[in-house]
Chains A and B, each alone.
Chain A
Amino acid sequence: MSAETDILAPAEADRITYTEELEARLHDRLRIQRLRSAPRGLANRLALGLALIGPGLLVMLGDNDAGGVITYAQTGATYGFSLFIPLMIPLGFIAYLVQEMTIRLGAVTRRGHAEMIWKRYGAFWGAFSLIDLVVANILTLMTEFIGIRVASAIFHIPYLVTIPLAFAFIVGILVFLKYYTWERISLFVAAFNLVFVPLALFSHPDWGAIGRTFTGSGWALPGGLFSAGFLILVSANIGTTIAPWQLFFQQSCVVDKGLLPRDIAASRRDLMLGVIGMVAVAISIIVISGQYLHDLPNAASLGDHSVLAGIGSRLGHGAMVIFALGLLEAGMIASIVITASTAWAIGEALDVPRSVNISPRRSLYFYAPAILGTAIAAGVLMLPHVPVGFLNLTVQVIATVFMPAAMLFLLMLLNDRELLGEHVNSPIRNVLSVGVMVMLIVCNGLYGIATVFPHAL
């Protein structure tokens, strides 16, 4: 039917056998190849673009998780229209800088992040990074189920119903669908992350004041630059932007999608699209909360309930419902991608067949640990009295605590010419990446000093 069929005789083609995951991946690759070789019309180009998006959009919109939504809301409520609005743009660039490295590593080596660390540096250091990932993932998943639990209350559905349903959906699409369908459904869910943008646009914020934040207005910090409250919000906002699971997720996702070096440019566009979406959503939430929640008491410890109640009382029931929908979606999409990141990472570490294309009966060890991790998080959130609010900030900061070690492995791999050849990092990328690591350590260190010695800074 196409030119490529001329290469092999049918009988020879029939003799080739493939693993289940490879066969599904080849069908996905064939779809992309056909779109590439189709006439260059607008419809075909759009279809090709849509076929190639996935890992970048998912990782960045999944990054705006339920904990992230609340962190942005706490940030806006605490500082109003402040330096955090323009800060989101450089944070977006940092996210791009870090995540782009996983695209090259995955596309060139065709191996996931955990596998690379495990095989290159041995089981000890592999376990070192894997334990960090799994601990951070379970904690982060708890914040996702907090979001789902609180949002479901707005829709008058008991959390004892919504949490098991959400869990069944997250696990069900991972276990029973092929990669392509899983990715498309996840992208559909991720699209609802953008509901915060129209909500901000129609909430009549003070655009003049927002614009002035880009020129230094509102940058004065009530508690001072070195207050624990400010430093934890800085760290938490960085933690919502870059986290260890994102490295593991995107690289494994690139591999499972079957992306190759020739797809790196398209994957970068996919990532950039995701970064733009992430920044737009983050700024939207800070704008909404900066405009309407700024005068609430204990703003830095606002829980999901308080944020939604505040939105409802100031912007009306409709806005509260849309915000709750966004919060529910944020928890869902993040749970979907974080569960997948755990599955891929543990599958790679155990060296078992690892792909969303694999049926569960063929690779129990790929699916089971991830399901267990998500079940633990969901189970904790089904308990009647769980402290939320500050837990969100704490979990976001914990992600940044684990990040320097994860980034150091990434940087070492990205400078390994034997593995990556011409795709190794440029010196400027290395300098910028080391700068990000140092910034993370300094921010967290300052927060630590401010916490233990409140009057030292």
Chain B
Amino acid sequence: MNNHDRFVTDTAADIAAIARTEGWLVPPAPIGRIALRPWQQAVFWGLRIYIGIMLVIMGLGFFHVAGG
């Protein structure tokens, strides 16, 4: 452990105790994979198209102003 100066009052027992009481020794619950529903996929693809179009427009706006 590196930061001895900061943690001089922390004993191994203190650390072990808080690790147990706050559940740090137990790994977080696994996250199962779920598939996006068709309507969700449609919305995300729609947003992707929206991003693409907006980026082109932002580029046009930028170069229009930057070009005077």
Task: Encode B40-56 as 1/0 by CB contact (under 8 A) with A.
Answer: 10011001101101110
Q: Which residue of A lies closest to B41 (CB)?
A: A125
Q: Are A27 and B54 in contact (CB under 8 A)?
A: no
15 contacts between A and B (CB under 8 A): A4-B14, A8-B17, A18-B19, A27-B15, A116-B31, A120-B31, A178-B2, A301-B65, A401-B58, A408-B43, A408-B44, A408-B47, A412-B40, A447-B57, A452-B57
Q: Are A5 and B24 in contact (CB under 8 A)?
A: no
Cβ contacts under 8 Å, B34 to chain A: 120-121
Among A109, A258, A402, A405, chain B packs the most CB atoms within 10 A around the CB of: A405
Interface positions of B from 1 to 53, Cβ below 8 Å from A: 1-3, 6-7, 9-22, 24-25, 28-29, 31-36, 40, 43-44, 47-48, 50-51, 53
Cβ contacts under 8 Å, B54 to chain A: 398, 401, 444, 448
Cβ contacts under 8 Å, B57 to chain A: 447-448, 451-452
Give Cα A258 to B22, complex, Å.
10
Q: Are B25 and A178 in contact (CB under 8 A)?
A: no
| The stretch of A65-73, A201-209, A389-397 that contacts the partner chain | A389-397
Q: A8-B13, A109-B28, A401-B55 are in contact. Are A26 and B33 (CB under 8 A)?
A: no
Q: Are A18 and B15 in contact (CB under 8 A)?
A: yes
Please classify how large the interface on chain A is, using the bins under 10, 10 to 19, 20 to 34, 35 or more: 35 or more
Give Cα A20 to B15, complex, Å.
13
Task: Encode A15-41 as 1/0 by CB contact (under 8 A) with B.
Answer: 010101011111101100100000000
Could you list 15 further interchain pairs (A-B, Cβ under 8 angstroms) beyond the known A4-B18, A7-B17, A418-B32? A4-B14, A5-B13, A5-B17, A7-B16, A8-B13, A13-B17, A16-B19, A26-B24, A27-B6, A27-B15, A178-B2, A301-B65, A394-B62, A405-B44, A452-B57
Give Cα A391 to B66, complex, Å.
9
Q: Are B28 and A33 in contact (CB under 8 A)?
A: no
